[in-house]
Amino acid sequence: MLNVLRNIVQEVNGAKDLESALHILVARVQQAMKTEVCSVYAMDQENRRFTLRATKGLNQEAVGNVSLSLGEGLVGLVAVREEPINLDDAASHPRYRYLSETGEERYNSFLGVPIIHHKRILGVLVVQQSARRKFDESEEAFMVTMSAQLAAVLSHAEAAELVLESDHSKDSKIKHDVIIKGAPASPGIAIGTVVVLSPTADLYDVPDRNTENVEEEIHRFQSAIEGARAQIKQVGEKLADLRPEEQALFDVYIRMLDDDALGSEVVRRISENKQWAQGALRDVILEYVAHFDKMDDAYLRERATDIKDLGTRVLAQLQDTIELLPEQNFPDNTILVSEELTPSMLGEVPENKLVGLVSAKGSANSHVAILARAMGVPTLMGAADLPVKQMEGIELVVDGYRGRLYTHPSQKVRDQFQAIVEEENALVEGLEAIKDLPAETPDGHRLSLCVNTGLITDALRSLDRGAEGVGLYRTEVPFMMKERFPSETEQESIYRKQLETFAPQPVTMRTLDIGGDKALTYFPIEEDNPFLGWRGIRVTLDHPEIFLLQVRAMLKASVGLDNLKIMLPMITSVSEVEEAQHLIYRAHQELLDEGVAVTMPQVGVMIEVPAAVYLAKTLSGIVDFISVGSNDLTQYLLAVDRNNPRVAELYDSFHPAVLGALKHIADTAKENNCTISVCGEMAGSPAGALLLMAMGYDMLSMNATNLPRVKSIIRSVDTIFAKALLEEVMVMDNPQIITSTVELALNKLGQGRMLGPTVSA
């Protein structure tokens, strides 16, 4: 049964559009369930009616012509109750509604299951029989499993359908203003043209793209085949001690590449359809794969894996030849779209051309989103329904405030969003006036507002915004932009630029924080639970050579400037701090011995792990400063993966447990007179900053975009007021109510505009 299920899901997944997906679905389920009828009723989200979209067994003329409202008939009842209905005599059920167009009167038994994706009902899958019998438990279980697995596939196909031009009919029309939702990950509005980037060689991620130069594409394809052939041969030779049957597999691979069928089919598609090589290769390989996958013979089914592997190798070769799109191929207003955006992809687009980012995977707390905020690029993450492959070249509006995108925007939508852009620009210009004024409350409490940086470009932006230094320099960012560990001299020059840019103001450099979702291509860490694994200080203490080299580079870079602070990430135990401090002293001493006149910088730790919250007393006694990484602290306290869009709604730094931890850290560290700051994203949210100030944090570090807003709020709120508000929310148990209470207070103070624009589109 599992195989049948898997095959159906794969086939539906491979369908070229929603209509064929639904046809395949009903045909295959009817066959697998051995019923006379299988139909699917899909919910029209606009009028909330269920229309018969495909059937095997009922009258075909009824398709598209009969529909039921929510709660109407048995289908509507399945949808309302959100559970299966299994009847041996459907007509005798009080809710039965006879649809004469379908010819269903012959069928007595009825089993309907809802198709639900992320709490949203997409449709109802129904099987019917003339024999009067209840479907048994295993049949019902099969249908429930089937519909659960298909929900995501259908939701995806549905979104694709909405976004794309329908190519079945001559009078195809573009649908304007189709909305796709995701998580708002970096505020702002982007209006531009999509460029799709694929992370690694993955056939399923290849976007559609046309070519103007057929000859060149064919040539690229043929060279890629050559490359793949040489590579396979080389791998085969390297593994000389393989068993003969394994060696034979390499020979089979090479013969497959020699076989004209596969290659010539790709070439044919490039020239006839004017498709680029990657797209033609994807189509041919996936058709072969689907063909083999359907075979009942296990050996032949396995060949599907071989073909996919072969196709992926050729694809990797093709990607190598155009690793980067030539600069001129990026439109002026590029919106980068990917199945999974990675930090390094941001570097692929010339900075002056990048206006927006959209990722199907990830969340607002992913590192790529953090970088996007630092760069001020409007971003949408976790847009699970995004039909990435088919989006190349289309026009979009990205609404980074509410987490929505609009495809093929109409003039009306463009105008609405253009008005928001102008309103925002006016706000930013207005905030220019306070750029050089201190972040001081009307009753004289002074706070320091710093920025989080990673690239030199965001460092430069920060100065325009009135930053008083860097509260978090993520050193892993320059590491990610390289193809190997940067040398001591390379690091020294990168760090020097940061330090010089801000001198005499302080720059807090965090030692390398890799692992989790921050991977270095040249130092891969493969783990089942990366966020609970080898991360941050754990990696660098295991590799003192990497740590020492980095610290030496930081210290050398600070000579004569003396504005360096060093910060240790992911601290869980006191012994880690002691070990790291020891290495820092060692590096310092080594440099003194080498005659370099370095001063010992302040050394602090991040509190990001719940264990460290309970060590706040000890930690604040042995370090120069503490900075709370509220992003990871929220993730670990709430046990919510910060990258996982499925649980993104549970991730909330205003959760009372997080606020309680933050307050505890502040109170405890103050007893030891230790300087405390927050450098997670919460510090840059107007409401978060207000509460953190009330808790007594001395410094807040945030992205440059939000800094002027936060300053405006601080300059308008008395500490007495902020403390009273904090007291009020600390006894609340609901994060949403806490947020609303703080935002309402800001509104009353006339600071509502700082929370972001009201979008009415």
Residues found near ligand PEP in the complex (CB under 6 A): 370, 472, 474, 513, 608, 629-632, 679-680
Of 377, 382, 402, 396, residue with least CA distance to 182: 382
Distance of alpha carbon 277 from alpha carbon 258, whole angstroms: 18
Cα Rg of the chain (Å, integer): 29
Q: Contact 465/708 with Cβ under 8 angstroms?
A: yes
Which span (82-90, 363-371, 526-534, 606-614) binds Mg ion, by CB under 5 A?
A: 606-614
Distance of alpha carbon 556 from alpha carbon 26, whole angstroms: 68
Please report whether residue 517 would count as binding Mg ion according to CB under 5 A. no
Please count the other Cβ atoms lying within 10 Å of the Cβ belonging to residue 482. 15
Kindly state the smallest distance separating residue 681's Cβ from ligand PEP, in Å: 7
Q: What are phi and psi of 49, to 5 degrees?
A: -115, 155
Nearest CB to ligand PEP, comparing residues 96 and 523: 523
Nearest CB to ligand PEP, comparing residues 279 and 645: 645
Nearest CB to Mg ion, comparing residues 79 and 640: 640
| Cα 462–Cα 465–Cα 468 angle in degrees, nearest 5 | 70
Structure-token pair, residue 386 = 């995004």
Which residues have C-beta within 8 Å of that of residue 575, sequence separation ≥ 6?
none
Among ligand PEP, Mg ion, none, residue 668 binds (CB under 5-8 Å by kind): none
Kindly state the smallest distance separating residue 541's Cβ from Mg ion, in Å: 16
**Could you tell me the CA-to-CA distances from 119 to 79, 155, 472 in Å, in that order?**
12, 12, 38
Kindly state the smallest distance separating residue 632's Cβ from ligand PEP, in Å: 3
Kindly state the smallest distance separating residue 516's Cβ from Mg ion, in Å: 8
Of 501, 502, 498, 527, residue with least CA distance to 515: 527
Nearest CB to ligand PEP, comparing residues 498 and 631: 631
| Cα 327–Cα 328–Cα 332 angle in degrees, nearest 5 | 100
Among Mg ion, ligand PEP, none, residue 143 binds (CB under 5-8 Å by kind): none
Q: Contact 470/386 with Cβ under 8 angstroms?
A: no
Nearest CB to Mg ion, comparing residues 396 and 571: 571
Which residues have C-beta within 8 Å of that of residue 546, sequence separation ≥ 6?
485, 512, 539, 540
Among Mg ion, ligand PEP, none, residue 182 binds (CB under 5-8 Å by kind): none
Q: Contact 465/472 with Cβ under 8 angstroms?
A: no
Of 597, 608, 665, 666, residue with least CA distance to 634: 608
Nearest CB to Mg ion, comparing residues 632 and 743: 632
Kindly state the smallest distance separating residue 688's Cβ from Mg ion, in Å: 16
Q: Maximum distance among all alpha carbons in the chain?
A: 96
Kindly state the smallest distance separating residue 508's Cβ from ligand PEP, in Å: 11
Among ligand PEP, Mg ion, none, residue 341 binds (CB under 5-8 Å by kind): none
Structure-token pair, residue 754 = 């700082």
Among ligand PEP, Mg ion, none, residue 474 binds (CB under 5-8 Å by kind): ligand PEP
Kindly state the smallest distance separating residue 631's Cβ from Mg ion, in Å: 5
Beta strands, E only, 552-680:
564-568, 602-607, 625-628, 675-678
Burial track 516-539 (b if 16+ CB lie within 10 A, e otherwise): bbbbbeeeeeeeeebbeeebbbbb
Of 222, 455, 210, 195, residue with least CA distance to 326: 195
Structure-token pair, residue 287 = 């058709």
Catalytic residue ranges: 367, 679
Kindly state the smallest distance separating residue 510's Cβ from Mg ion, in Å: 9
Nearest CB to ligand PEP, comparing residues 409 and 629: 629
Size of the site for Mg ion (CB under 5 A): 3
Kindly state the smallest distance separating residue 528's Cβ from ligand PEP, in Å: 20
Distance of alpha carbon 737 from alpha carbon 42, whole angstroms: 36
Burial track 85-97 (b if 16+ CB lie within 10 A, e otherwise): bbbeebeeeeeee
Please report, as residue ranges, which positions from 613 to 632 form the binding site for Mg ion (by CB under 5 A): 629, 632
What is the separation, in whole angstroms, between the first and last Cα of the chain?
47
With the C-alpha atoms ordered 432, 433, 439, 441, is the resulting torsion angle positive or negative?
negative
Nearest CB to ligand PEP, comparing residues 109 and 365: 365
| Cα 91–Cα 96–Cα 100 angle in degrees, nearest 5 | 80
Among ligand PEP, Mg ion, none, residue 370 binds (CB under 5-8 Å by kind): ligand PEP
Nearest CB to ligand PEP, comparing residues 152 and 647: 647
Q: Contact 735/654 with Cβ under 8 angstroms?
A: yes
Distance of alpha carbon 216 from alpha carbon 504, whole angstroms: 54
- Judged by DSSP in three states, 649 sits in helix
- Specify the pairing of strand 446-453 against strand 699-702: parallel
Kindly state the smallest distance separating residue 448's Cβ from ligand PEP, in Å: 17
**Could you tell me the CA-to-CA distances from 521 to 46, 198, 547, 556 in Å, in that order?**
45, 15, 18, 27
Among Mg ion, ligand PEP, none, residue 630 binds (CB under 5-8 Å by kind): ligand PEP
Kindly state the smallest distance separating residue 286's Cβ from ligand PEP, in Å: 37
Nearest CB to ligand PEP, comparing residues 286 and 571: 571
Nearest CB to Mg ion, comparing residues 192 and 536: 536
Which span (208-216, 284-292, 473-481, 608-616) binds Mg ion, by CB under 5 A?
A: 608-616
Distance of alpha carbon 645 from alpha carbon 114, whole angstroms: 23
String of DSSP letters for 102-113:
GTGGG--EEEEE
> Residues interacting with Mg ion, by CB under 5 A?
608, 629, 632
